[in-house]
């Protein structure tokens, strides 16, 4: 997605929610130069959190076996950074039950928690990328995001099956802090 929208740059601070097994974190570390491979470029920071275990990744501060939705984990994340995040990525998803409407409700609830966290943790003009399963509550979430960001897009990655309900909200240029989300 970054190949097309170019929202990642060296020197940025990024949070990866739902990071296991770590593929996105590896890409984030490379694009932000958190791994330090590009000596002539600014070095970024990447933090990765997931309920599941995952292997350490060069340049990434990891929180394996951690529940992003818990206030304790969120506090720990905020205490670990010295500023706010330029980008927050959420690839979190529930264990799929096979009941599309239930899975949709659960992932929308996860997204709302990411949105609440981003209100206090995202820099002005920051970016939020979240996976959702499209459904009846998608438009309600979109209304919240449109009030918080200058630009909100639906993105369906090439890697996603055409008949899959999986899509992403790409939210660019964080503008205001809201309440009641």
Phi and psi for 121 in degrees, rounded to 5?
Answer: -115, -5
- Residues noted as catalytic: 131
Per-residue pLDDT of the chain (181 residues; tens, 9 = 90+): 888 899 999 999 999 999 999 999 999 999 999 999 999 999 999 999 999 999 999 999 999 999 999 999 999 999 999 889 999 999 999 888 888 889 999 999 999 999 999 999 999 999 999 999 999 999 999 999 999 999 999 998 777 777 778 899 999 999 966 555 4
Domain 10-166 is found in CATH 3.40.50.150: yes
Task: Output Rg (C-alpha) for the chain, integer angstroms.
Answer: 16
Predicted confidence at residue 177, as pLDDT, reads 62
pLDDT of residue 36: 93
Outline where 81-137 has alpha helix (H): 100-121
**21 cis-preceded (ω within 30 degrees of 0):** yes
Domain residue ranges in the chain: 10-166
Q: What is the pTM of this model?
A: 0.93
Helix (H) or strand (E) run with residue 79 in it:
helix 71-80
């Amino acid at each position: 997605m970054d190949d097309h929208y170019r929202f990642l740059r060296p020197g940025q601070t990024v949070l990866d929610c739902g990071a296991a097994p770590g593929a996105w974190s590896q890409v984030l570390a490379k694009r932000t130069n958190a791994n330090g491979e590009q000596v002539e470029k600014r070095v970024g920071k990447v933090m990765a959190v997931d309920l599941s275990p995952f292997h350490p990744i060069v340049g990434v501060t990891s929180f394996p076996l951690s529940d992003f939705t818990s206030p304790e984990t969120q506090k720990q994340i905020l205490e670990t950074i010295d500023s706010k995040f330029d980008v927050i990525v959420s690839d979190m998803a529930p264990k799929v039950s096979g009941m599309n409407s239930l899975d949709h409700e659960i992932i929308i609830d996860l997204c709302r928690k990411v949105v609440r966290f981003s209100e206090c943790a995202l820099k002005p003009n920051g970016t939020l990328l979240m996976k959702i399963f499209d459904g009846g509550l998608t438009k309600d979430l979109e209304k919240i995001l449109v009030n918080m960001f200058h630009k909100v897009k639906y993105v369906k990655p090439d890697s996603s099956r055409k008949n899959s309900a999986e899509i992403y909200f790409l939210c660019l240029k964080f503008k205001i802090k809201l309440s009641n989300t």
